[in-house]
Copies of this chain bind each other. A is one copy, B any other.
Amino acid sequence: MRILVVGASGTIGGAVVAELAARHDIVRAGRRGADVQVDIEKPETITAMYARLGRVDAVVAAAGRVHFGPLAEMTDAKLRIGIDSKLLGQLNLVLLGLDHVADGGSFTLTSGILSEVPVLHCAGTSLANGAIEAFVRGAAPEMPRGLRLNVVSPTVLTESMPKYGPSFRGFEPAPAARVALAYSRSVEGVQTGQVFKVH
């Protein structure tokens, strides 16, 4: 398969590339230093990327920003950071990519455990993650030409514990290489409309 990995330079994206590269042709996409440039917050760069790439068999999205901060200081504008980036950035990869993925291909997005579990100062992330998962459930039955649509929901990464550990006391972290297996199940399996939880 020819697989587009958006966010390939990230911790998860890199692990997905490592997992899939032995068996597939990988196209790395990202804001810089990748095979093809894309900023998922700018839909016109998504359109340009797909036009340049031609047909792919699968798209993996492991990209997107969110705002972290206290609820008391939360605003409409701060919530829109995650909405414009992690949520609509990933969904635009689907909506603008429908005609560029081969019959029977797949899209695999990224949410996270915060869709289900509250963590201090992460309400904006919970919102974005929950929205992605609900969209995947709602949209999968309408995907054309046998295309599949799933999302991977990882817990906190082992690699991120030095930075995020204090916010995730008592959570069992997962190494990115283990999280990457869920992307493999989505891309190389047969399921659709699923939230593949790694937690």
Contact = CB atoms under 8 A, between A and B. Distances in A.
Contact count band on A:
35 or more
Interface string A127-147: 111110111011111111000
Interface stretch (A2-10, A87-95, A161-169, A175-183): A87-95
A184 B20 CA distance: 51
A139 B73 CA distance: 12
Nearest to A83: B83
Given A76-B92, A95-B75, A144-B72, A134 B139 contact: no
A47 B126 CA distance: 25
A140 to B, nearest CB: 7
Contact of A138 (B83, B125, B142): B125
Given A88-B76, A137-B116, A138-B118, A71 B131 contact: no
B130 A133 contact: yes
Chain A binding surface, main DSSP class: helix
A120 interface: yes
- A114, A128, A139, A141: which has the most chain B beta carbons within 10 Å? A139
A193 interface: yes
A129 B141 CA distance: 18
Nearest to A137: B118
Interface string A104-124: 000000000011111111111
7 contacts: A70-B142, A72-B98, A74-B95, A87-B127, A123-B142, A126-B139, A130-B131
Given A118-B193, A123-B142, 11 more contacts: A43-B76, A72-B144, A76-B88, A76-B95, A79-B91, A118-B137, A126-B135, A128-B131, A130-B134, A130-B137, A133-B134
Interface of A: 43, 70-72, 74-76, 79-80, 83, 87-88, 91-92, 95, 98, 114-131, 133-135, 137-144, 193
